[in-house]
Structure 1
Amino acid sequence: MKYTIKYEGNNGVIDFNSAPYLLKNPEALFNFEISVNSTLNQLENREIIDCFYFGGKSVDLEIQILGKNKEQLIDQLDFYFNNDRELLSPSKLIVNDYYVYCYVIKSENRYFTKFRNFEVINYTFKFTSRWIKEDIIDFRRNDDIKNEMGLRYPMNYPFSYKAVKRELMINNENYASAKAKIIFYGPCVNPKITINDNIYSVEANLLENERIEIEPFEKTVIKYTAAGNAIDMMNYRYKKQSVFTEIPTGTSLLVKDSEFSCRLILYYERGIPAWS
C-alpha cells in the first residue's frame, strides 16, 4: 500500500513523500495506544475498566532534508512549525484520506555535518486529536421527491406522473458513532432535518447564498451572510434535543423539508489511520 503523507500548516503544504523532504519512518504513524480509566476491585482481585479515552499522543518522525540549500530548507520547516505554535493553530498531518491535528514540539539533529547535502532531523509531533476521515453527503432541494406513474388520461397522454416522497438514507461506515457538521443552505426558513428521531434545526431566515453551520467540535451554530459576515445563532437552535448529537454507526433515516439543500460531513475518528 502506498501512503501519501503531507503536512498542511497555516503557511503552506509540505509533501513528505519526495525530496526535498522525505519521511523515513512512516510506520511510526501506525503505532497505537489508548488511555484507560479503571477501578481496582480489591475484594475480587481484579481491575474494572470504566472507560477508554484519547489522552494525547507524541510521535517521533525522522525527516530527511535533501538539497544543496539544505540550511534554507531546514529554516523553512522551522518557520512553518514555529508559526503554528505562535498562532496556537494546529497543523494537519495527512495520511491518504485521514488527518490528525498536531504541533511540532521538539527537534533533534541525527547526522549533522556541513559537508554533505542532506540532513536527518527527528521531529516530535504532538497529536491533539484522533485520526479523522471526512465523509461528505449532500442533499439537494427536492431530492426527497420522485416521480411515479399516476392517473391515466384519455386523450394525448397515455400516462402521467405524480410526486411522492422517497426515503433519504445516510450510512456511518465507522465502527463508532460519528460527529456531524450540518450545513443548511438558503433560501429557506427555519431549516430542519431529523435523523433517527433526533431533530437538528435552527430558527432562521436564510436568503440566497447564505448558510448556517452546526459545528460539532467547537459546539457552535453560525450563520454566514452572502457578504461573509458571521452571526452567532446558538440561541436559535432547537433545544429540546441536542443539535450536536452524534450519528450512530450503520444506516440511518434522514427526513427533511423539500424546499432547501443541506450538507452533512461525518467525521470518522480512529486511533490510527486506516491501513488500506
Structure 2
Amino acid sequence: MYDIYYVGAQNSERIDFCQWPYMVTGGDLFDGGFDAIEDDDRIQGWERKITSKKLNVEIRAVGMTLDKAVDQLENIAEKDVVNITPGRLYVGPSYMKGWIVGTTKDRWVQDIDSISNELTFKSDYPYWITEEEFRFHKQGSESSEILEWLEFPYDVPYEFSKVRNLQYINNSNYTASGFKMIIYGPCINPLIRIAGHIYELRTTLYDGEYAVIDSSTRYAKDRKIVKVKTDGTEENLFNSKNNESSIWEKIPAGLSIVSWNGAFGFDIILFNERGTPRWTLH
C-alpha cells in the first residue's frame, strides 16, 4: 500500500489519506502524459503544462466528528491557496508541488457519518519528485575520517576512495537532476567540482553561517542563492555566483566524481523527477 498524504506549506500540517477519518478510494495519481511542443506541424520536444489530478477519498467520523474532519482538510488546503504557496502531495517517497483547489462531495444528504469526496489537485510543476541526499564532510572531521576509505559500487579508473576530498555522488535517476546545495562555513570562495563541472560562490561564509543554492523550481527567475547568518537572517548571494560556469547545471545520472579543497563541508539534495510516481516503493 502506498502512503498518500498532503503536507501544507504554511505549518507543515499533514492530511493522511490512508488513515481514518480519510481513506483513499481511487483517482488518477498514477496516470500521466506529456504535451507536445510543436512548430511547423512537427514535434520539437515535450513538456508538462499545468496539470490537474483527481483524488477520491472517503471521509468518515472516526476519531473526530464528520464536520470537523471535513473542515480540517479544507482549512489546511485553503491556507495554501490563499497564500499562493504550494503544498506537497505525496505518493510513497515521491511528491508533487501544488494546491488542493477543488472538492466535490457526494452522499452528504443521506449519511451523517461518512461522505465521498473527490479532491482536485492542481500543479504548475507537474513532476513527481523523489529526493536523494548526500553529505560531504570537512577534512579532518570525525565523519570525514570514517568516509575516507569508501567502497565504490563498481570499478573506477583508479582508487578514488583513497584520495582525500575526492569522493562520488551516485544519482539513481535515469536523467540529470536539479538539486539543492548547502555549503557550511567557515570558508572563502567555496568551489566544488561535480563530473568536471564547477559550482562556485565568490563570497565568505563565517563560522555558523551557510549558503543555500536552490534549483528546485521550474522557473529560473525563482531560483535562489542565499547566505543564512547565525541570527537566521538571509542575504542574497545571487550576484556572487561564478558566471563563467553555470551554477544551475543539473547533476548527471549515475556515478559522478566530486572534488573540493576539503576546507568546508556541504550537503547535496537531488530532486529526481518523473512524470508519474515511482511504481516500486524501494
Normalised by the shorter chain, which TM-score bucket? 0.7 to 0.9
Is 1:258 matched up with 2:262? yes
Cα offset for 1:196? Answer: 2.1
Aligned residues: 253
Deviations 1:25-55 (A, max 9, x none): 15x21011111113456xxxxxx32111111
- In structure 2, the residue matched to 1:66 is 60
The alpha-carbon distance between structure 1 residues 232 and 119, as it changes in their structure 2 partners (threshold 3 A), is same
- In structure 2, the residue matched to 1:124 is 120
Is 1:76 matched up with 2:72? yes
SS of equivalent residue, structure 2 residue 69:
helix
Is 1:175 matched up with 2:174? yes
Within 2, Cα distance between the matches of 1:140 and 1:167? 11
Within 1, Cα distance between the matches of 2:176 and 2:227? 26
Structure with bigger strand share is: 1
- In structure 1, the residue matched to 2:99 is 103
Deviations 1:143-187 (A, max 9, x none): 49958xxxxxxxxxxxxxxx9536311111111110121111011
Identity of counterpart residues, as a percentage?
27
* 8 A Cα contact 2:189 2:201, kept in partner: yes
Question: Which amino acid in structure 2 is aligned with residue 62 of structure 1?
Answer: N
TM-score scaled by length of structure 1 = 0.86
1:248 to 232, 252, 260: 252
SS of equivalent residue, structure 2 residue 173:
coil
Within 2, Cα distance between the matches of 1:180 and 1:248? 11
Deviations 1:203-247 (A, max 9, x none): 122122110001112321100001101000111111101111111
- In structure 2, the residue matched to 1:212 is 211
Following TM superposition, the consecutive aligned residue runs of length 4 or more in structure 1 with deviations greater than 4 angstroms are 144-147
- In structure 2, the residue matched to 1:272 is 276
Within 2, Cα distance between the matches of 1:4 and 1:227? 37
* 8 A Cα contact 2:186 2:206, kept in partner: yes
SS of equivalent residue, structure 1 residue 235:
helix
* 8 A Cα contact 1:100 1:128, kept in partner: no
Relative to structure 2, which stretch is displaced further, 164-173 or 29-38?
A: 164-173
- In structure 1, the residue matched to 2:31 is 31
- In structure 2, the residue matched to 1:134 is 131
Cα offset for 1:115? Answer: 4.0
Question: Which amino acid in structure 2 is aligned with residue 252 of structure 1?
Answer: S
RMSD: 1.9
For structure 1, the residue ranges without an aligned partner over 5 or more in a row are 42-47, 148-162
Question: Which amino acid in structure 2 is aligned with residue 64 of structure 1?
Answer: E
For structure 2, the residue ranges without an aligned partner over 5 or more in a row are 150-161
SS of equivalent residue, structure 1 residue 36:
strand
Question: Which amino acid in structure 2 is aligned with residue 215 of structure 1?
Answer: D
The alpha-carbon distance between structure 1 residues 164 and 248, as it changes in their structure 2 partners (threshold 3 A), is closer
Within 2, Cα distance between the matches of 1:39 and 1:92? 34
- In structure 1, the residue matched to 2:239 is 235
Question: Which amino acid in structure 2 is aligned with residue 5 of structure 1?
Answer: I
Within 1, Cα distance between the matches of 2:131 and 2:278? 13
Cα offset for 1:253? Answer: 1.2
